[in-house]
Structure 1
Amino acid sequence: MNQVTGKSSNHGREQGKLPVPVAVSDTAPVSAAATTPRRATADAQYRRMTGAPVRGLILALCLPAVISNLVTTAYNLADTYFIGRLGTSQSGAIGIAYSVMTVFQAFGFFFGNGSGNSMSRELGKRNNERAARLLAVGFCGAVLGGLALAILGLSTLPHLVVVLGSTPTIAPYAIAYLTPILIAAPMVCGSFALNGLLRYQGLSLYGMIGLVSGALLNFIVAPLLIFVAGLGIAGAGIATAVCQTISFIILVTFAVRRGVVRLDLRNGKPDMLLVREIIGGGMPSLLRQGAGSLATTCVNLAANPFGDAVIAAMAIVMRIMLAINSIIIGLGQGFQPVCGYNYGAGLYRRVKEGYWFCVRLSTIALVIIAVAVAVLAPDIIGLFRSDPQVIAVGTVALWMQCCTVPLNGFAMMSNMMQQTMGKTVIASFVAVCRLGLFLAPAALILAHCFGVPGVQMAQSVSDIISFIVTVPLQVHILRSLGKPRSTV
Structure 2
Amino acid sequence: MARLISHGLGTEPIGKLLVKQAVPASIGILVMSLNILVDTVFVGNWIGSTAIAAINVVLPVSFFIAALGMAIGVGGSSIISRALGAENKEKARTTFGNQITLTTLFTVTMVILGLWFVDSIVPTFGGKGNILEPAKTYYVIVLYGVPFLGLCMMGNTVIRAVGKPKVAMYAMMLPSVSNLLLDYIFIYVLDYGMAGAAWASTLSYLVCFIFILGFFISKQSEIELAKCHFGLNKATVVEIASLGVVTLSRQAIVSVTYLLMNNILYTLGGESSVTAYAIVGRMLMFALFPVFGVAQGFLPIAGFNYGAEKYARVKETIYTAIKYAALLATIVFVFLMVFPETITRLFTSDAQVILETPAAMRWVFAATPIIALQLIGAAYFQAIGKAKQALWLTLSRQGLFFIPLIFILPVFLGELGVWIAFPIADVLATLVTGYFLYKEIIKNLNPELKSVN
| TM-score range normalised by the length of the shorter chain | over 0.9
The answer to whether 1:199 aligns with 2:160 is yes
Kindly indicate whether the alpha-carbon contact (under 8 Å) linking 1:88 and 1:308 is maintained by their aligned counterparts in 2.
no
Q: Which residue of 1 aligns with 2:265?
A: 303
The answer to whether 1:322 aligns with 2:282 is no
Are residues 352 and 436 of structure 1, via their aligned partners in 2, closer, same or farther at CA, if it must alter by over 3 Å? same
Q: Which residue of 2 aligns with 1:250?
A: 211
Kindly indicate whether the alpha-carbon contact (under 8 Å) linking 1:302 and 1:447 is maintained by their aligned counterparts in 2.
no
CA–CA distance in structure 1, aligned partners of residues 227 and 357 of structure 2: 47
State the Cα deviation string for residues 314-371 of structure 1 (Å, max 9, x = none): 1110110111223211111111111111000000110110111110111111111111
2:322 to 337, 359, 365: 359
Q: Which residue of 2 aligns with 1:187?
A: 148
The answer to whether 1:137 aligns with 2:101 is no
CA–CA distance in structure 1, aligned partners of residues 225 and 357 of structure 2: 44
Kindly indicate whether the alpha-carbon contact (under 8 Å) linking 2:69 and 2:153 is maintained by their aligned counterparts in 1.
yes
Q: Which has the greater radius of gyration? A: 1
CA–CA distance in structure 2, aligned partners of residues 465 and 102 of structure 1: 26
CA–CA distance in structure 1, aligned partners of residues 299 and 377 of structure 2: 11
CA–CA distance in structure 2, aligned partners of residues 226 and 437 of structure 1: 41
Q: Which residue of 1 aligns with 2:44?
A: 84
SS at match of 2:288: helix
Deviation at residue 483 of structure 1 after TM alignment: 4.7
Kindly provide the amino acid, as one letter, of the partner of residue 397 in structure 2.
R
Q: Which residue of 1 aligns with 2:350?
A: 387
Q: Which residue of 1 aligns with 2:233?
A: 271
CA–CA distance in structure 2, aligned partners of residues 264 and 249 of structure 1: 20
Kindly provide the amino acid, as one letter, of the partner of residue 365 in structure 1.
L
The answer to whether 1:99 aligns with 2:60 is yes
**Greater CA deviation, 325-334 or 259-268?**
259-268
CA–CA distance in structure 1, aligned partners of residues 412 and 227 of structure 2: 53
The answer to whether 1:424 aligns with 2:412 is no
Q: For this pair of structures, how many residues does the alignment match?
A: 444
SS at match of 2:117: helix
Structure 1 segments, 4+ long, off by >4 Å, are none
Q: Which residue of 1 aligns with 2:340?
A: 377
Deviation at residue 427 of structure 1 after TM alignment: 0.4
**Greater CA deviation, 433-442 or 335-344?**
433-442
The answer to whether 1:289 aligns with 2:251 is yes
Kindly indicate whether the alpha-carbon contact (under 8 Å) linking 2:340 and 2:358 is maintained by their aligned counterparts in 1.
yes
Kindly indicate whether the alpha-carbon contact (under 8 Å) linking 1:371 and 1:402 is maintained by their aligned counterparts in 2.
no
Percent sequence identity over matched residues?
A: 26
Kindly indicate whether the alpha-carbon contact (under 8 Å) linking 1:144 and 1:186 is maintained by their aligned counterparts in 2.
no
Q: Which residue of 1 aligns with 2:424?
A: 461
State the Cα deviation string for residues 468-488 of structure 1 (Å, max 9, x = none): 22121111221222459xxxx
**Greater CA deviation, 332-341 or 475-484?**
475-484
SS at match of 1:230: coil
State the Cα deviation string for residues 254-313 of structure 1 (Å, max 9, x = none): 123211212445411122210121012212111111111111111111101121000000
2:18 to 32, 53, 58: 58
State the Cα deviation string for residues 118-140 of structure 1 (Å, max 9, x = none): 11000000000110111111122
Kindly indicate whether the alpha-carbon contact (under 8 Å) linking 2:33 and 2:289 is maintained by their aligned counterparts in 1.
yes
Kindly indicate whether the alpha-carbon contact (under 8 Å) linking 2:146 and 2:205 is maintained by their aligned counterparts in 1.
no
Deviation at residue 216 of structure 1 after TM alignment: 0.6
**Greater CA deviation, 321-330 or 283-292?**
321-330
CA–CA distance in structure 2, aligned partners of residues 63 and 131 of structure 1: 25
CA–CA distance in structure 2, aligned partners of residues 295 and 194 of structure 1: 27
Alignment of 1:162-181 (within 5 A): 162-181=123-142
1:435 to 398, 407, 421: 398
Gaps of 5+ in 1: 1-36
Kindly indicate whether the alpha-carbon contact (under 8 Å) linking 2:176 and 2:204 is maintained by their aligned counterparts in 1.
yes
CA–CA distance in structure 2, aligned partners of residues 393 and 104 of structure 1: 31
State the Cα deviation string for residues 429-458 of structure 1 (Å, max 9, x = none): 111122333222222332333222122222
Deviation at residue 145 of structure 1 after TM alignment: 1.4
Kindly indicate whether the alpha-carbon contact (under 8 Å) linking 2:98 and 2:233 is maintained by their aligned counterparts in 1.
no
State the Cα deviation string for residues 81-132 of structure 1 (Å, max 9, x = none): 1111122221111211221132034211210011100110000000001101
TM-score w.r.t. the length of structure 1 is: 0.88
Q: Which residue of 1 aligns with 2:183?
A: 222
Kindly provide the amino acid, as one letter, of the partner of residue 139 in structure 1.
I
**Greater CA deviation, 467-476 or 377-386?**
467-476
SS at match of 1:457: helix
CA–CA distance in structure 2, aligned partners of residues 364 and 424 of structure 1: 28
SS at match of 1:422: coil
Kindly indicate whether the alpha-carbon contact (under 8 Å) linking 1:418 and 1:477 is maintained by their aligned counterparts in 2.
no
CA–CA distance in structure 2, aligned partners of residues 250 and 382 of structure 1: 35
Q: Which has the higher helix share?
A: 2
Are residues 209 and 75 of structure 1, via their aligned partners in 2, closer, same or farther at CA, if it must alter by over 3 Å? same
Kindly indicate whether the alpha-carbon contact (under 8 Å) linking 2:159 and 2:165 is maintained by their aligned counterparts in 1.
yes
CA–CA distance in structure 2, aligned partners of residues 264 and 217 of structure 1: 32
Are residues 264 and 302 of structure 1, via their aligned partners in 2, closer, same or farther at CA, if it must alter by over 3 Å? farther
Kindly indicate whether the alpha-carbon contact (under 8 Å) linking 2:107 and 2:146 is maintained by their aligned counterparts in 1.
yes
The answer to whether 1:445 aligns with 2:408 is yes
SS at match of 1:114: helix
TM-score w.r.t. the length of structure 2 is: 0.95
When the two chains are superposed, the root-mean-square deviation of aligned CA atoms in Å is: 1.5
CA–CA distance in structure 2, aligned partners of residues 96 and 353 of structure 1: 41
Deviation at residue 223 of structure 1 after TM alignment: 2.0
